[in-house]
């Protein structure tokens, strides 16, 4: 009986109730959407590099090593000597190793020297391999493969020339050794998209006429002569390492960290990513807090709507009392109405969320490389929906108690 009364009362005020339900639905969709983006961003962040067991570089900090070797943020305090790199590569535990050499740039995009093994060994998003959208990997000394963002931002195509600049913010360019774009990668949503990749030998080639970070005045070695040189690097910035067995990871990590020839650091990518996520966790908490305040605002708006309708419904409540309804029935009626509005709004918000995810998922993945999962509601999300309904019942107690206290005489004296 009380459910029929509550539903009839809501239908009688369809416009006002509908606007309240819409506000609750949008706030729930926003809150759950932020949660989806947060978990999606965290998963994409963790999937920036997968399949790599260790990252090796000069001794610094684990987060710093991760930032400059994987995310191309910051610079190395020192390099990993080529002799040490070869020693590590020769260890029995090592299945594969890929060197990384950073330091130069092209129009604010980082230039990375590596080997062709990088295109086979680098994995992202739970084991996906990077793929070429056009062209092929480097085959000539002065070939380069560029990421999707580099190509899109600068309008490059296969065959276009590229001139690498010395350093990150330098106006000095290696104009006498231009590169040719041999391939363009598909978008991955990782720092690879913003990277210009060349061979390790090419990094040495463009610095043949340089010494101590400056070009030797009047010296310009022809490209044909450079091709005949022994272009073995003296050092690299870092190395990605895969081991033959999972149980060997920690032993190899300890051996590298205790390497006596030079101070080195080997970090587990997953552990370093967790440390990095803890650093940015403050922003994550703030984002959740803001979306939570939106839900609270919607609930307060619902309470205000119920309050504003009380004066119009005083005769209705008085008639209920005159027909024998107890005060707690009046209180329960208002609480039930609020709970119904919140429940409908929560379900509608869930519908909005999944419709929005279905539309936005391919667009966000293409533009930002952020994968938003479309999964069944998690236990956490169900708890959020139940919490919204429970909170609506609690906030409705304030106007419900006011209606509870309205006297029969006061209700019957309202003019119509």
Mutual angle of helices 2-12 and 327-368, in 10-degree steps: 60
| Residue found by looking up tokens 């060349």 in the block | 198
Residues 10 and 20: their CA atoms lie apart, in Å, by 11
Residues 62 and 276: their CA atoms lie apart, in Å, by 9
Residues 286 and 293: their CA atoms lie apart, in Å, by 11
Q: If we measure between CA atoms, which residue out of 81, 38, 74 comes closest to residue 57? A: 81
109 sits in which H/E element: strand 109-114
Q: Using H for helix, E for strand and C for coil, what is the string for 45-104?
A: HHCCCECCCEEEEECCCHHHHHHHHCCCCCCCCCCEEHHHHHHHHCCCCEEEEEEEEEEE
Say which DSSP state 326 is in: -
pLDDT for position 72: 87
Q: Using H for helix, E for strand and C for coil, what is the string for 198-253?
A: EEHHHHHHCCCCEECCEECCCCCCCHHHHHCCCCCCCEECEEEEEECCHHHHHHHH
pLDDT for position 93: 94
What is the pTM assigned to this prediction?
A: 0.72
Burial classification of residue 78, based on how many CB atoms lie within 10 Å of its CB (0-12 exposed, 13-18 middle, 19 or more buried): middle
Per-residue pLDDT of the chain (416 residues), as tens digits, is 566 766 676 776 778 888 888 988 998 898 888 888 877 777 777 778 888 999 999 998 899 999 999 988 888 888 999 999 999 999 999 999 999 999 899 988 999 999 999 999 999 887 889 999 999 999 999 999 999 999 999 999 999 999 999 887 666 888 888 999 999 999 888 899 999 999 999 999 998 888 776 778 878 888 888 888 888 999 999 999 999 998 899 999 999 999 999 999 999 998 888 888 777 777 777 777 887 888 888 888 877 777 776 666 666 666 666 666 676 677 777 788 888 888 999 999 999 999 998 898 887 776 666 677 788 888 888 888 898 898 888 888 877 777 666 544 444 454 44
Token pair of 66 as six digits:
């991760």
Under 8 Å between Cβ of 264 and 80: yes
Phi first, then psi, for residue 220 (nearest 5°) are -150, 100
pLDDT for position 366: 66
pLDDT for position 325: 64
- The helix/strand/coil state of 1 is coil
Q: What is the length of the chain?
A: 416
- The helix/strand/coil state of 193 is helix
pLDDT for position 196: 96
Say which DSSP state 168 is in: S
């Amino acid at each position: 009986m009380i459910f029929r009364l509550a539903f009839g009362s809501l239908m009688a005020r369809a416009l006002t109730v509908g606007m309240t339900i819409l506000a609750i639905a949008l706030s729930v969709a926003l809150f759950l959407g932020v949660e989806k983006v947060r978990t999606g961003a965290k998963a994409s962040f963790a999937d920036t590099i997968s399949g790599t067991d260790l990252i090796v570089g000069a001794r610094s900090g684990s987060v710093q090593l991760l930032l400059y070797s994987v995310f191309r943020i910051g610079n190395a305090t020192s390099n990993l000597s080529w002799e040490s790199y070869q020693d590590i590569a020769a260890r029995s535990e090592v299945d594969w190793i890929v060197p990384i050499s950073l330091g130069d740039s092209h129009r604010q995009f980082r230039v990375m020297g590596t080997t062709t093994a990088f295109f086979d060994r680098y994995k992202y998003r739970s084991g996906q391999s990077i793929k070429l959208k056009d062209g092929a990997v480097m085959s000539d000394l002065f070939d380069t493969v560029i990421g999707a963002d580099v190509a899109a931002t600068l309008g490059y195509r296969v065959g276009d020339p590229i001139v690498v600049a010395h350093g990150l913010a330098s106006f000095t360019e290696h104009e006498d050794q231009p590169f040719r774009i041999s391939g363009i990668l598909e978008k991955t949503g990782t720092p690879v998209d913003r990277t210009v990749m060349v061979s390790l030998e090419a990094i040495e080639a463009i610095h043949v006429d340089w010494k101590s970070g400056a070009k030797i005045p009047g010296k310009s070695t022809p490209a044909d002569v450079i091709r005949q040189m022994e272009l073995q690097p003296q050092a690299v910035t870092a190395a990605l390492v895969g081991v033959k067995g999972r149980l060997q990871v920690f032993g190899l990590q300890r051996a590298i960290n205790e390497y006596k020839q030079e101070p080195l650091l080997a970090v587990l990518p997953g552990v370093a990513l967790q440390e990095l996520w803890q650093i940015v966790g403050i922003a994550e908490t703030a984002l959740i807090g803001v979306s939570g305040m939106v839900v609270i605002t919607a609930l307060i708006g619902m309470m205000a709507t119920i309050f504003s309708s009380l004066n119009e419904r005083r005769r209705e409540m008085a008639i209920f009392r005159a027909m024998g309804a107890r005060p707690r029935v009046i209180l329960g009626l208002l609480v039930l109405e609020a709970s119904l509005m919140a429940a409908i709004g929560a379900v509608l918000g869930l519908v909005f969320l999944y419709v929005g995810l279905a539309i936005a998922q391919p667009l966000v993945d293409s533009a930002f490389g952020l994968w938003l999962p479309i999964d069944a509601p998690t236990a956490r999300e169900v708890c959020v929906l139940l919490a919204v309904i429970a909170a609506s019942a609690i906030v409705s107690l304030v106007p419900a108690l006011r209606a509870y206290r309205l006297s029969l005489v006061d209700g019957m004296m309202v003019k119509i």
